């Protein structure tokens, strides 16, 4: 199963590398797009849950790395919840 890494620029201009166990993330996020914080969280949650489910279908167990990544995204995002118009930019995809 091809995994995917994606680079995220948070509202404070910090950069984080994120992980997906599946290329499905490319169906929900687009390089160069600036997503409102809540939308980014929703899109990430959907993509990472689908990726984890694909792992489960193939190997018989869900992807704990995808769920760990989702938890990290949600934790970081909580720090920006009080910022009006907070946006997250997708900087890059890489295998």
The pLDDT of residue 93: 97
pTM assigned to the model: 0.94
Tell me the C-alpha distance between 40 and 60, whole Å: 28
Spatial neighbors of 79 by CB under 8 A, at least 6 apart, are none
83 φ, ψ (degrees, to nearest 5): -90, 120
Instruction: Give the span between the Cα atoms of 30 and 51, in whole angstroms.
Output: 17
Q: What is the pLDDT of residue 89?
A: 98
Q: Alpha-carbon distance 75 to 61, whole Å?
A: 24
Listed by start position, the domains of the chain span 4-94
Which among 70, 72, 23, 26 has a CA at the least distance from the CA of 48?
Answer: 70
pLDDT per residue rounded down to tens, the chain (95 residues): 689 999 999 999 999 999 999 999 999 999 999 999 999 999 999 999 999 999 999 999 999 999 999 999 999 999 999 999 999 999 999 98
């Amino acid at each position: 199963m091809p995994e995917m890494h994606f680079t995220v620029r948070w509202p404070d201009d910090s950069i984080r590398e994120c992980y997906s166990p599946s290329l499905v993330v490319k169906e929900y996020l687009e390089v160069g797009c600036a997503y409102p914080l809540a939308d980014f969280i929703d899109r990430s949650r959907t993509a990472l849950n689908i990726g984890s489910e694909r792992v489960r279908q193939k190997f018989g167990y869900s992807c704990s790395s995808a769920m760990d990544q989702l938890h990290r995204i949600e934790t970081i995002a909580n720090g920006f919840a009080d910022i009006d118009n907070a946006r997250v930019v997708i900087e890059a995809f890489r295998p």
